[in-house]
Structure 1
Amino acid sequence: MNDITVQDIFLRFYEDFRKLHSVSPGQDRTALCIMKCKTPEMGANVSECPECHLRKIHYNSCRNRFCTMCQAMDVDKWIDLQQENVLDVPYFHAVFTIPEELYALTYSNQKLLYDTMYHAVSSTLKELSSDSKHLGARIGFICVLHTWGSKMNYHPHIHTIILGGGLDERNHWKDKGKKFFFPVKVLSAVFKKYYLQELKMLREKELLEYHGSANTFMNHYAFKELLDLCYEKKWISYIKPAFQGASSVIHYLGRYTHRIAISNRRIVEMDEKNVTYLVKDYKNKGHWKSITIPGTEFIRRFLMHVLPKGFVRLRHYGILSCRIKKDKMTLCRNLLGCRQYLSKLRGMNTEQVMMALYHIDICKCPECGAHMSSYRMRGHYMLC
């Protein structure tokens, strides 16, 4: 079984990469986190058995959101908490993308133009859902930004999980069963309208920056040509079928909300110069195939997807927004007559969570069954 990790690749190639490329402080911090994750430098929790003197050392995770070794428990805890806000109604998965002609400008203005994508998605869904021709209700939805394609190429897009109904002006529940509310062509056109409106506004206020291949758009006429091309082009959005039951929604959400550009299980091989990993071949029905690239190129692609510091990737809107979610979900459950799913992990400490999720008693000696005492060793490199 392959045991090569993203950490191994960074340890081997990161210094060579830094000789070839400049990195932002956020990218460098992420790289250091990945290289030092679960090593003595991050500190450790030490457990000792007073009876048989067994000693176990558990090195701390770096807690960086882009680290491939730090996501498992966070995903499981997040999924558990989300159960409290899921209804037994259809949910839909919509994906919003922008044309590749906008990629260079977007990468030069990541925070601004990622925010613009969220704003355009939110305005699109709110406008269409409030229209009685489509639904005539206030819906709820969750957005999460992904910036990569299967090859770790730059491909910003937003995954949106949409509640299959909403509350009308009289606070009555309204839905269309398993039928999605809006035609996909309308969805794409309205998203394009809102995105380009905000892009023009940012240009007029001189808030955009132009780096690398985006430098050409500093010119007024080049920028106008870009806008004209984007207006003429067909934007692609698509809808996946409704989920089967509330539990499938929860686990599906977990797959998307904490995903990063590549997982360790997709890495096939590493040698002195190259890395081989699996990608989906969409020209061949999405079957997996392996590609090989230089290790420094692998790191370049990985670090492209490190988001700006403090950027919120997971956002809730409508009746699922954090400010009103508790009251609106209670109302919706009462109107629909569906039960509330309760969190199993709320209020638990780490030991209790480990037992509840993985049936591992970290306080019990695996050799003799005695209660293990534990203490913490502080590391030299506390990053996150």
Structure 2
Amino acid sequence: MSAFIQLLRAHKGELERLHGHELTTDMRCAISALLRCKTEQQGRSQWYCAHCHHDDRLPLSCGHRHCPQCQQRTTADWLQRQHRKLLPVHYFMVTLTLPYQLRVLARYQPKALYQTMFHVGTQLLKDFAHHQQQGELGFTAVLHTHSRQRNLHPHLHIIVPTGRYDASKQAWHRSDKRYLFNAFALAKVWRARMLEAINQSNELWLPMGIPKQWVVDCRRVGYGKAALDYLSRYLYQGVLPDRDILRTSDHKVTFRYRDGQSKQWHTRTLPTLQFLLLILQHVLPKGLQRVRDYGYLRGSASELLKRIQLALLPLFYVMPTIVTPIRSKATRPCPCCQHDMDCVGITRPR
């Protein structure tokens, strides 16, 4: 069982008693799902091996997107779908961050703030592409809510392939693989549009002391596979992997994190209840989609993406082969003969 879920089960009563007023409805739903995960309360799945006729029954996982112990399949499937969309061109990763003063909005109005970030950030890239070069831009935007120390730090990672598609001419236009957009110009417009959107919102407010300079990072990431692999590690496997939780006791938890500048490992020790709140604050609001595709990478543009891939077909021969078939149904290896077992039934508790 996940170390975080064990801590949550052991300290749930104390957490409710001392910090119940800080738990949102979404946090409570996540807690309920995580405590049921892979227990008799969740139900059981029945598996059958056609090779050796072995029969097995296993407790069901909760399927909650913040559960650290049951989203590995979801991560693998998402990564395979993104690999199918990769183009044989160089990629950039644009990171749009918010200053410290605005992070309080993520605590009290997370859904409104995150939706605003998606709307402003994606329109920002579309407008820059429109002014610099004709043709449609394709990109994938991913919301992250935490820093390496797991503090609240909402930001958008946007993976952008270089090049544009001109639908009127049905032609692909190459771009400079060394340059996408000016990061300083992006930061100025990002700041101005976010402040304008917050001022016009009925749910958000503008705190005092907003800095005049914001940070936007725009860097080349090769063919894109490394960036997708990086993002996949944070999407469906919980905020903090079990391997990074080093020590737990009745009163304290110690976990490790890698510093972004020095690349060295550091540790952080917190009281147990504070640690639980630190992780739970990253539970996303219900219905908020944290990964979104735009332009010719969106789901409804699959035919357009195929035409682009056909136009770039000669370049695929120099691109590393990374695509593997997506499994159409759930399977698991048989403990007796190692052949695939199929799920043949689900039993729910009455």
TM-score, normalising length: structure 1: 0.80
Q: Report the CA distance between 1:379 and its aligned residue.
A: 3.1
Partner of residue 214, structure 1: none
Q: Report the CA distance between 1:256 and its aligned residue.
A: 4.5
Amino acid of the structure 1 residue aligned with 2:138:
G
Change (3 A) 1:96 1:50: closer
Distance 1:319 1:46 in 2: 41
Distance 2:18 2:82 in 1: 43
Q: Number of paired residues?
A: 342
Task: Tell which has more relative contact order, 1 or 2 (C-alpha 8 A, sep 6+).
Answer: 1
Q: Report the CA distance between 1:60 and its aligned residue.
A: 0.7
Partner of residue 377, structure 1: 347
SS at match of 2:218: strand
**1:304 maps to 2:281:** yes
CA-atom RMSD in angstroms: 2.9
Q: Report the CA distance between 1:368 and its aligned residue.
A: 10
Change (3 A) 1:182 1:44: same
Partner of residue 37, structure 1: 37
Mapping of residues 137-156 of structure 1, within 5 Å: 137-156=135-154
Change (3 A) 1:349 1:105: closer
**1:329 maps to 2:315:** no
Q: Report the CA distance between 1:185 and its aligned residue.
A: 0.5
SS at match of 1:82: helix
Distance 1:108 1:93 in 2: 29
Distance 1:115 1:373 in 2: 38
Change (3 A) 1:251 1:10: same
Identity across the alignment (%): 24
Change (3 A) 1:123 1:34: same
SS at match of 1:155: strand
**1:292 maps to 2:274:** no
SS at match of 1:83: helix
Distance 1:372 1:112 in 2: 42
Q: Deviations over 1:329-360 (max 9, x none)?
A: 122123222559866125x2212xx4xxxxx2
8 Å CA contact 1:79, 1:254 repeated in 2: yes
2:258 to 257, 280, 284: 280
SS at match of 1:323: helix
Change (3 A) 1:125 1:367: closer
Partner of residue 215, structure 2: 236
**1:319 maps to 2:296:** yes
Distance 1:335 1:171 in 2: 9
Distance 1:12 1:263 in 2: 19
Partner of residue 330, structure 2: 350
Q: Deviations over 1:105-164 (max 9, x none)?
A: 3322211111111111112101111113xx433211111111111222111111111121
Distance 2:339 2:184 in 1: 62
Partner of residue 103, structure 1: 103
Change (3 A) 1:81 1:343: farther
Q: What runs of 5+ residues in structure 1 fail to find an aligned partner?
A: 210-216, 218-222, 355-359
8 Å CA contact 2:330, 2:342 repeated in 1: no
Distance 1:373 1:330 in 2: 33
Q: Deviations over 1:276-323 (max 9, x none)?
A: 11123346x131112211111111111111111111111111222222
8 Å CA contact 1:43, 1:377 repeated in 2: yes
8 Å CA contact 2:253, 2:271 repeated in 1: yes
Please, which moves more after superposition, 60-69 or 272-281? 272-281
Larger Rg computed on CA atoms: 1
SS at match of 1:41: coil
Distance 2:61 2:114 in 1: 28
Distance 1:145 1:111 in 2: 12
Q: Deviations over 1:355-378 (max 9, x none)?
A: xxxxx2x4xx60698989965332
Q: Report the CA distance between 1:167 and its aligned residue.
A: 1.5
Q: Deviations over 1:255-276 (max 9, x none)?
A: 3443532111111111111111
Q: Report the CA distance between 1:180 and its aligned residue.
A: 2.4
Distance 1:234 1:16 in 2: 42
Partner of residue 93, structure 1: 93
Amino acid of the structure 2 residue aligned with 1:279:
Y
Distance 2:102 2:229 in 1: 32
SS at match of 2:162: strand
TM-score, normalising length: structure 2: 0.87
